[in-house]
Amino acid sequence: MKSAFPFPGVSAALDDQALILRSAEPLHILSSAVVGGGFVDARIIINLHVNKQYDNPDPAADLMTFARQRGVEEPFVGLMTAVFMRNTQIVTLTEGDLLLTLVITAGFSNATAAGLSPGVQARPGTINSILLIDARLSSAAMVNAIITTTEAKTSTLCDWGLQTPDGLPATGTSTDTVVVACSGRGPELAYAGPVTPVGRLIGRAVRQGLEARRP
Q: What is the pLDDT of residues 61-98, one digit of tens each?
A: 999 999 999 999 999 999 999 999 999 999 999 999 99
What digits encode the pLDDT tens for the residues 94-148?
Answer: 999 999 999 999 999 889 999 988 765 555 569 999 999 999 999 999 999 999 9
Decide: 91 and 209 in contact? Cβ < 8 Å: yes
| C-alpha distance from residue 109 to each of 8, 25, 82, 106, 213 (Å) | 34, 36, 10, 10, 12
pLDDT for the residue numbered 51: 92
Please name each of the domains of the chain with its CATH number: 2-211 (3.60.70.12)
Is a pLDDT exceeding 60 seen at residue 188? yes
Cα–Cα distance, 54 to 51 (Å, whole number)? 5
pLDDT for the residue numbered 113: 93
